[in-house]
Amino acid sequence: MFESLNTVPAATTVTVAHQAIRILRHLARLPEDRREAIARRMQDVLKERDTELALQVVREIEDAEGVPIADLPEHGIARYTAELSEIAKRRTIEELGSDAEHGRAVLDRMRSLSAF
């Protein structure tokens, strides 16, 4: 599931996962007319391909669950939110790398500077 998120750059994966999560958590609970208005605004802000991928992710969830996302129970939304977040995190680490020790050192340095 969500194979398309593995074929695009990590930045696109993060954008698409974020938008799909927003749709799952917020948009699906709105009345139809409000959903359409927000979806149109989303298309104005995002690249067309990103919007298409986010909607594809939502369709994959609906197909897997056999219900529209508006009928998805909270535990299902939480599960897919966690899965999409994990995919975005994994793709970012794959592309950009991760150095926990360096990250801790930077945070320690920032904390020491904020004391002044």
- Residue 52 tokens read as 């298409």
pLDDT grade for 36, boundaries at 50, 70 and 90 = low
49-75: per-residue pLDDT in tens?
888 898 899 899 999 999 988 888 999
Q: What is the pLDDT of residue 48?
A: 78
**In residues, how long is the chain?**
116
Residue ranges of alpha helices (H) inside the chain are 10-25, 32-45, 48-65, 74-96, 100-114
Q: What is the pLDDT of residue 79?
A: 96
Q: Where are the domains of the chain?
A: 3-114
8-28: per-residue pLDDT in tens?
999 999 999 998 998 888 877
d(CA 6, CA 101): 27
The proportion of the chain whose per-residue pLDDT surpasses 90, expressed as a percent, equals: 41
